[in-house]
Amino acid sequence: SAFILAKSLSELTNDLQDGSLSPEDVFYSYMEKTLDVNKDVNCCTGILLESFEDLKTVASKKEGLLYGVPVSIKENYAYKNHDSSCGVVVNLERPDQKDSVIVEVLKRQGAIPFVKTNLPQALLNYDCGNPIYGQTLHPNNLRKTPGGSSGGEGALVRGGGSVLGFGSDVGGSIRIPASFCGICGLKPTAGRLSSKGLKPIFRGQKSVLSSPGPMARDVDAVALAMQALLCDHMFALDPTVPPIPFDMQMYQSSEPLRIGYLEDDGYTQPSPSMARGVREVKALLEQAGHTLVPYTPLKITYAVTELLVKGLLADGANRLVQKLEGGPLDPCLREQVMPYYLPNWLKKTLSFLLKPVVSSLLHMCALSYTALYNLLTFPAGVVPVSTVTAGDEEELGRYEGHHQDHWDKLLKQAVGGSEGLPVAVQCVALPWQDELCLRFMKEVERLVQQSRK
Contact 39, 31 (CB under 8 A): no
C-alpha distance from residue 88 to each of 97, 109, 133, 167 (Å): 19, 32, 10, 18
Does residue 50 register a pLDDT over 70?
A: yes
Does residue 278 register a pLDDT over 90?
A: yes
C-alpha distance from residue 368 to each of 49, 51, 294 (Å): 40, 39, 18
126-174: pLDDT as tens digits = 899 999 999 999 999 999 999 999 999 999 999 999 999 999 999 999 9
What is the SS3 assignment for 447? helix
Q: How far is CA 27 from the centre of its chain?
A: 24
Q: What is the pLDDT of residue 348?
A: 79
- Which residue among the candidates 29, 51, 74, 199 is catalytic per the annotation? 74
C-alpha to C-alpha distance for 278 and 274, rounded to whole angstroms: 7
**Phi-psi sector, 98: left (phi>0), alpha (psi -120 to 50), beta:** beta
- Which residue among the candidates 72, 85, 150, 173 is catalytic per the annotation? 173
On average, the pLDDT of the chain sits at 95
Does residue 439 register a pLDDT over 60?
A: yes
Delineate the domains of the chain, giving CATH numbers in brackets.
2-251 (3.90.1300.10)
| pLDDT level of residue 295 (50, 70, 90 thresholds) | very high
Average pLDDT rounded to a whole number, residues 205-213: 95
Q: What is the pLDDT of residue 160?
A: 98
Q: What is the pLDDT of residue 365?
A: 58
- Which residue among the candidates 149, 150, 210, 273 is catalytic per the annotation? 149
Q: What is the pLDDT of residue 357?
A: 57
Picking from 91-105, 213-227, 257-271, 296-310, which range would have the lowest pLDDT averaged per residue? 296-310
| pLDDT level of residue 356 (50, 70, 90 thresholds) | low
Average pLDDT rounded to a whole number, residues 75-100: 97
Contact 425, 395 (CB under 8 A): no
| pLDDT level of residue 364 (50, 70, 90 thresholds) | low
Does residue 106 register a pLDDT over 90?
A: yes
C-alpha to C-alpha distance for 66 and 107, rounded to whole angstroms: 9
Note the helical H segments in 109-218: 151-159, 175-181
Average pLDDT rounded to a whole number, residues 433-447: 98
Half-sphere exposure of 206 (CA within 13 A, CB side): 1
Active site residue 210: no
Average pLDDT rounded to a whole number, residues 72-99: 97
Does residue 360 register a pLDDT over 70?
A: no
Helices 9-17, 23-41: inter-axial angle, 10-degree rounding: 150
C-alpha to C-alpha distance for 279 and 440, rounded to whole angstroms: 16
Does residue 366 register a pLDDT over 90?
A: no
Contact 233, 65 (CB under 8 A): no
Share above pLDDT 90 across residues of the chain, in percent, rounded to a whole number: 86
C-alpha to C-alpha distance for 407 and 55, rounded to whole angstroms: 48
| pLDDT level of residue 29 (50, 70, 90 thresholds) | very high
Active site residue 74: yes
